[in-house]
């Protein structure tokens, strides 16, 4: 999947989680940082790609990308497994605890959940592509849905750009309109709008 589709998928997963499990309280700062963490989580596993959006804006982009590629075992390896995701979640938690003193009004637990939702959505989305995902590393089997490879999506192909990506946006709009009243009430109550 492309970075754009992963961003949309991470946002969709976050909206679904927020509708089904609305937080007991929420500050505007938490909402914004959580959204950012969710989007970062959504593309994090692809730092193993030399062309990943993560590296694209750095001056030593090519070198850094390739070095990480070697270190992580190539594309769709460690970063696309439960072990890799657990390691990223642990790192994210550690980073949030470290940053907490300068983010007083931010609920780092909610921000961490948003990151976890983003990174989990990445693996789920990559599972429906032809390459599959080695969920259970070190067991070197790539899993895909549906199991028949021919029925899965090719990354960057028209099915992704013209169907999956727009469908995710339509789903977001539909979810928000369906739950508009509850969302409005929640914003009024917690964010004072
Ligand atoms: Zn990926």
Q: What is the DSSP string of 58-83?
A: STTHHHHHHHHHHHTTSTTSGGGSHH
**185 exposed, middle or buried (CB, 10 Å; 0-12, 13-18, 19+)?**
exposed
Q: Return the half-sphere exposure (C-beta side, CA atoms, 13 A cut-off) of residue 184.
A: 5
88 CA to centre of ligand 1 in angstroms = 14
Q: Residues 85-97: what's their mean pLDDT?
A: 97
Q: Phi/psi zone of residue 156: left (φ > 0), alpha (ψ -120 to 50 degrees), beta? A: left
136's enclosing H/E stretch is none
Residue 123 CA, ligand 1 centroid: distance in Å: 7
Number of domains present in the structure of the chain? 1
Identify the DSSP state of 132: -
CA of 170 to the centre of ligand 1 (A): 22
Domain span at residue 46? 3-191
Q: What are phi and psi of 140, to 5 degrees?
A: -85, 50
Q: pLDDT tens-digit profile of 49-89?
A: 866 566 566 666 666 666 666 666 667 889 999 999 999 99
User: From the CA of 22, how far away is ligand 1's center (Å)?
Assistant: 28
Please say if the pLDDT value at position 97 is more than 70.
yes
- Determine contact, residues 168/8, Cβ cutoff 8 Å: yes
CA pair distance 88, 95, nearest whole angstrom: 10
Element (H, E) at 142: none
* H-helix or E-strand spanning residue 50: none
Predicted pLDDT of residue 145: 92
Q: Provide the Cα torsion 155, 156, 158, 160; round to 10°.
A: 60
Distance 112 CA to ligand 1 centre (A): 20
User: What's the half-sphere exposure (Cβ side, CA atoms, 13 Å) at 108?
Assistant: 14
15-62 pLDDT, tens digit each: 999 999 999 889 999 999 999 999 999 999 999 886 656 656 666 666
Angle at 160 between CA 138 and CA 41, to 5 degrees: 50
The pLDDT, as a whole number, for residue 174 is 97
Ligand 1 ion: Cβ-proximal residues, 5 Å cutoff: 45-46, 126
CA of 76 to the centre of ligand 1 (A): 6
- In the reported structure, the alpha carbon of residue 24 is separated from the centroid of ligand 1 by a whole-number distance in angstroms of 32
Q: What tens digit of pLDDT does each residue of 151-180 get? A: 999 988 899 999 999 999 999 999 999 999
CA of 161 to the centre of ligand 1 (A): 16
Task: Give distance in angstroms: CA of 66 to centre of ligand 1.
Answer: 16
| Residue corresponding to tokens 């300068």 | 102
Q: How far is the CA of 23 from the centre of ligand 1 (A)?
A: 29
CA of 46 to the centre of ligand 1 (A): 5
Residue 142 has pLDDT above 70, yes or no: yes
The CA 95 to ligand 1 mean position distance, Å, reads 22
């Amino acid at each position: 999947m492309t970075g754009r589709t992963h961003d949309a998928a991470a946002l969709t997963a976050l909206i679904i989680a927020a509708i089904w499990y609305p937080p007991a309280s929420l500050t505007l700062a938490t909402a914004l940082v959580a959204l950012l963490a969710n989007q970062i989580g959504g593309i994090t596993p692809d730092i193993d790609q030399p062309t990943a959006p993560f590296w694209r804006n750095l001056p030593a982009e090519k070198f850094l990308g390739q070095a990480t590629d070697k270190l992580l075992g190539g594309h769709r390896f460690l970063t696309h497994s439960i072990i890799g995701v657990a390691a990223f979640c642990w790192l994210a938690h550690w980073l949030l605890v470290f940053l907490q003193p300068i983010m007083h009004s931010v609920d780092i637990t909610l921000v961490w959940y948003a990151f976890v939702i983003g990174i989990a959505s990445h693996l789920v989305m990559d599972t429906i592509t032809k390459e599959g995902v080695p969920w259970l590393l070190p067991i070197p089997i790539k899993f895909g849905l549906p199991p028949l490879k021919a029925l899965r999506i090719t990354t960057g192909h028209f099915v992704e750009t013209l169907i999956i990506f727009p469908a995710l946006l339509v789903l977001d709009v539909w979810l928000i309109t369906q739950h508009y009243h509850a969302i409005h009430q929640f914003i009024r109550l917690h964010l004072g709008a």
